[in-house]
Each structure stands twice: as C-alpha cells, then as structure tokens.
Structure 1
Amino acid sequence: MAVVTDPQPPAPSDSPAMPAGGRPRLVAMSIWSVLFVAGWLTIGLPTDPAYAFVWIWSAVIAWNWGRPWRSHLGFARDWLPVVLLLAAYNLSRGFADNGAIPYSYDLIVADRFLLGWATGGEVPTIWLQERLYEPKVQWWDVLAAWVYFSHFVVTFVAAVVLWMRDRARWGAYMRRWGFLCAAGLATYFLYPAAPPWWAAQNGLLAEVARISTRGWKEFGMHGAGNMLNAGQIASNPVAAMPSLHTAWALFVVLFFLTSTRRRWWPLLLAYPLAMTFTLVYSGEHYIIDVLVGWAYVGMTFLVVGLAERWWAARQARQARRAPTTELAGTVPVDSAPRTDSGDADAGADDGSSPTGEPSIPVAR
C-alpha cells in the first residue's frame, strides 16, 4: 500500500530567503527603468557616490519587491559605509596635489620607452589620436564613451549581485576593492601625476583632445554626461598614477574569473583591454598608469588573501584552545552524597563517580 505524504508547506511570503518575482517585480523594474532614463537624460549619469547609491538601492528594492522592509534596510546598513568611504575618497583626491606641480615628464619618458618602438618614438595617446580622432564623432568614439562610463557601473553592479546572492563573498569582494582604492589614494599623495591632456595644456606634449565622453553626442544625448563632465572639470589632475579605471576593470574580471567557464575568459579579459584603449586614446591616462594599476590589482589579491588566511588560522587556533581552557576551569560535582561507609571514596579511586560515571579531572 503506497503511503502518500503531504508536501512541505510553502515558505511564508515575508521570508528573506524567498526571492521576489513575477508581475510585481516586472512592474517595479519597469517604473525604475523609466525614472532612471529620465534622470539620466536630464540630470546626467549617476557618477556621484550618493546619487549612484540612490539609484542602486531603488533598483534593489524594485527587484526584490514584496520583501519585508527589514531586508531593504539591511542593504542600506551594509552599503552606507561603502558610500561614505567612496565619498571621502573622491573628496580627498582634491587635496593630493597640495599645490605642487604634478609629475608628467617621467610618464612621458616611460611611455616612449615602453612603446616608442611601435609608435615611432611618440606617446601612444598622440599616436592613436593622429590616426583615429576626427572632428566628427565616429563609431569607436561611441564605444569608448560607454566603456569609460562602465567604470562607474560594472564594479558596483557586480557588488550588488554578490550582496543579494552570497553576502560572505560580497565581504571578500569589498575588502579587496577597499584595499585597492586605499592603495591608489596613497599613491596620489606620494606621487601626484598628471594625465596626457594636462601635459598637452601645459606645453609638455603636442595637442591632446580629452574625448572620453564625446560619443554620447552622436545620439543627441547632450545632457547624458552632465554630471560626469562636471566632475571632470572640477577634478584634480593628479590622480593619473595608478589608473584605477583599468585597475577596477581588471579587479572585477579576476575576482570572477575562476568561477567562470574558460570559454568566457577571452570575453571577460577583453574588458580591461577595452578600458585601456579608451583611456589612452581619450587622453585620460598613459600606458604606464595602466600597468601600475594592474600591478596594484595583483598586490591587492596577494595582500588581502594572505591577511584573510592569517585571520582564519588565528580564529582556528583560538577555537582549538577554547575547550582546553574551559576544561581546566571545570570543578567536578558528585552526583550522589557521600556516606561514611567509604564507598564513594572507593569508587573515586578508579576514576569513576559513585554512580559509575567517570569524574571530570580537576586541574591542580
């Protein structure tokens, strides 16, 4: 006779482990998309940390529509320190020059040494612009504009996905990203360096056009880069070494590379290469800036990985010592009262209690 068992009851609708979906998500994401495009075309792309956080948080709320508010507030709790650190990082870059003239000639010499054999002794930025830059926007200018903007999106979108899927791995991701930013910021103070467009403006190079955002004009999106353009105008020119644009691009790819099928590796690795081309062609960075940025990524994974292994080993040692410490401080308690017959003492001689249970040793 077959036995029919009742199926497990469904998880309650307010369970944090239950993903939201269906029509509510579709409606919420549609509304978010319309508002985002409207804000993009009127105010500009979300490159400011606080402005970007509002859009990211609202997107997570729309995607997880129907979840309890404690879940949405948990996102704000985890991400608010990240936003504050990023805002402090952006502000602190403005104090990195301290009124000193930034390094530029060293970078020019380094680029000519590295690729002068292929560019006829010219800096790669000038070599590329002489062959590709035209007054009319070309299709590669459009691609360059989108690749440049992806710097402000890809790293944080990946972090958001990790936060929703695996919070422990999100923590590992953010520890490495924070270390990478801190290392870059320290270098801006120790070695303030200027990009190619600054060198051209000050007579150290031939004319260099700063063209990282011109591609949007081809689609009539003249206001799409308002905030980014304003940030470029107000930015301090000493944040060229290392290039965190290429560093972030390589960082994201390497973090997910081992968990991705190898057939997708060429596509993933093409992203930091596309970012390198964009930054060099648009006059934002030298090749040496890119190489140092990549070296910082390798240093980040090495240092943070070693620190995590040291911390895990330390925690394991403390866990192994804890039972010994507790055992040493334990006082035996007889489970039966003593009698004058001496039976209890006789039982204790063989290491057992009067009830036959082994007694707990006492550290003396």
Structure 2
Amino acid sequence: MVTSTEPAPVVPPADPPSPSEPPRRRRLVAMSVWGVAFVAGWFGIGLPTDPLYAFVWLWTATVAWNSHRPWRTHLRFARDWLPVVLLLAAYNLSRGFADNGATPHVLELVAADRWMFGWLLGGDVPTVWLQERLYDPEAVRWWDVLASWVYFSHFVVALAAAVVLWLRNRDRWAAFMRRWAFLCATGLVTYFLYPAAPPWWAAKYGLLEEVARISTRGWRAFGMHGAGNLLNAGQIASNPVAAMPSLHTAFALFVVVFFLGSVRRRWWPLLLAYPLAMTFTLVYAGEHYVIDVLVGWAYVGMTFLVVGLAERWWRRRTTGRVEGPPAAEPSVTS
C-alpha cells in the first residue's frame, strides 16, 4: 500500500530590515541628545526666536531624526532652507526701517477698537479692559504663563510645520513656503506704507490709558529668567511701529488653514483655538489692537487666494508648453 504525503508548505524567509530604516534606539538616543542640548541652550541663551538661531536648532533636529542617513542628505536641508532663513533675517532687518522717521498711526487704531468694542467695554479698548481685570504687577498668574508660551510659539510653529513638510512631502513644503513668503512680503510692504504703533507704545506717549508690555513675563513663574533673552533683545531692536497687520495672528491662522483640509473636522475646533489664543495673548499683552488682528486674518485670506490663482495659472502655462500646440491637419489637394 502506497501512502502519499503532501509536501510541507514552504515558509518564505522574513524580509531583512531595510538598510534605510533607522534603528529606533539610534533615533531615540539622537533625539534625546538633541533635546538635552536644546534645553541647555534654552536656559543659557534663550528660546530660539532669532531666524538664524532657530535654523541651527531645526537643522540639528532633522540630523538627529535621520541620523542613519549619510551626511550628504543632511546638506540638502541647508541648501533648501538657507535662502528661507536669509529672507527671514532680511525681513527682520528691513522691518526696523519701515517707519523711516514718519509719525506712526495710533489714534485711528484706538478709534477702531473703541468703535467695535467700546459699547460693550464701557468705552475702553480691549487691551486696557483686559489688563485692568487680569494683570497684576505684583504676581504672575497662570494665564500670564500661558500667554508667554503662546506668544513664543509664533517664532517656531510655522518653521516647525515647514520642517515636517520638508521631511515628508517636498511639494507641499514648496507650496507652504510660497504662501508664507507672500504673506511676509505683503506684511512688510504694509509696514512701510502704513507704520502703526501698538497699544504699549501709545500708552508710553500718553495716547492711551496705561498699558504694560507683558508678553514674556509668564516665564518668571518657573524661574526661567533667561528664556526670553533673545526675544526681549529682539523686541528692543525691532521696529516698534510695525503693528499693522499683526503677523503673529496671521502666521497662527495661516498654519491652521494650510493643514485644515488634511485633518478630520472633529479636530477643527482644536486647531482654530490656536489663532484665537494668539489673538487673546497679543491683545492682553499690549502688543496689538484687535483691528491689527482682523487685518492680519484678511491678509491670510488674500495670500491663499492670490498664490492659489498664481499656481493654477502657472500649471496651465507649463502644461500647455509641455504638450505644445496641436499638430496642423495635412492639407488635401486635388
């Protein structure tokens, strides 16, 4: 009697790990070292609010995250980002000359805020009304701490979002940077054409009730006196009459709008809470009027509209150039 046995199934060998896949332990160690160095720089030098200083930290973060890759790949970050950082540095420097000795606009901004909110706040502008009820010169409250962190986020959120896009999708990164550059450029042009002073400046020269500039005081609650060193130095050196529009709130809304279509709608309220928190921070801290914020939001809408139309025009133009004109039909002669 002959018995037959079925052959045992052949189990294919497990795929070897891809050489491009980083060992988790190596990435964890590299990011831990970066985190320790960042905290040390944060306490010793200050939070990275200067574009060049922020560039160094962002670049080293990408190196730590992709530490398994060869160095030539890390040089691509410098190639792509150095022009962006130089433009930001030039923007910060040129903004300081925006007033050109002209008298800044103040009274119409105060009048606009009073027209919008005076009936509700007893004739006060929102900054004065908020500081009278929330600001205590002798004590730092929890909302002061939150406001300082929200204010600082202006200097890193947009850059950090752009770095993530650069790592994951270069086309979306390019789209992000085109819109961001346009937003910065239109804001800078407005600073030259319409120099405007913030509430703390107006109060300093007696054009508004007493207003304190308190955007960085919240860090004192944790003994982080050096955290705002660079930010405070930048505030002293920057142009004090570049308040219209508020690019702080414009950047916050810009980042949210750019990513809004990529997340589920249930997360939209959380994302939209960020520009609202930035608005409260800037108005409460004496950095901007509400009218500055509204104009900044309008600039965001203009940015997406204008750059989107320009991109569609360019795609039609380049597509037509690649495809070329339709071939002429041969003539028929009898």
Percent of residue pairs identical: 74
Partner of 2:4: none
Tell me which residue corresponds to 2:283.
Answer: 280
What are the ranges of 5 or more consecutive residues in structure 2 without an aligned counterpart? 1-6
Measure how far apart 1:85 and its partner are: 0.3
Structure 1 contact 19–64 (Cα < 8 Å) conserved:
no
1:1-364 matched pairs, under 5 angstroms: 13=19, 18-135=20-137, 136-321=139-324, 324=327
User: TM-score, normalised to structure 1's length?
Assistant: 0.85
Q: How far has the Cα of 1:121 moved from its partner? A: 1.4
Q: Over residues 104-146 of structure 1, what are the superposed CA-to-partner deviations in whole Å (9 max), with x where a residue is unaligned?
A: 1110011101111211111110000001001200000000000
Corresponding residue pairs, total: 326
**Unaligned segments of structure 1, at least 5 residues:** 329-360
Looking at structure 1, the residues matched to 151 and 80 of structure 2 have their Cα atoms a distance apart, in angstroms, of 27
Give, as a single letter, the amino acid of the residue that structure 1 aligns with 2:184. C
Q: Which of 1 and 2 has higher RCO (CA within 8 Å, sep 6+)?
A: 2
1:165-204 CA-to-partner distances (Å, cap 9, x unmatched) read 0000000000000000000000000000010000000110
How far apart in 2 are the matches of 1:73 and 1:200?
Answer: 48
1:21-59 Cα distance to aligned partner (Å, 9 max, x none): 411111111111111101100110111111110000001
Shift of 1:10: 5.1
TM-score, normalised to structure 2, is: 0.93
CA contact (8 A) 1:102 1:192 kept: yes
| Inter-partner Cα distance in structure 1 for 2:11 and 2:177 | 45
> d(CA) in 2 for partners of 1:311 and 1:2?
61
Residues 270 and 280 (structure 1), Cα distance of their counterparts in 2 relative to 1, 3 Å cut? same
Given that 1:124 and 1:280 are in contact with CA atoms closer than 8 Å, whether structure 2 keeps it comes out as: yes
- Native 8 Å contact 2:48 2:54 kept in 1: yes
CA distance in 2, matches of 1:254, 1:117: 32
Residues 1:60 and 1:317: Cα distance change in structure 2 (over 3 Å): same
Distance 1:19 1:195, change over 3 A: farther
Structure 1 CA distance for aligned equivalents of residues 211 and 88 of structure 2: 30
Instruction: Give the Cα separation in 1 of the matches to 2:14 and 2:180.
Output: 42
CA RMSD of aligned residues (A): 2.1
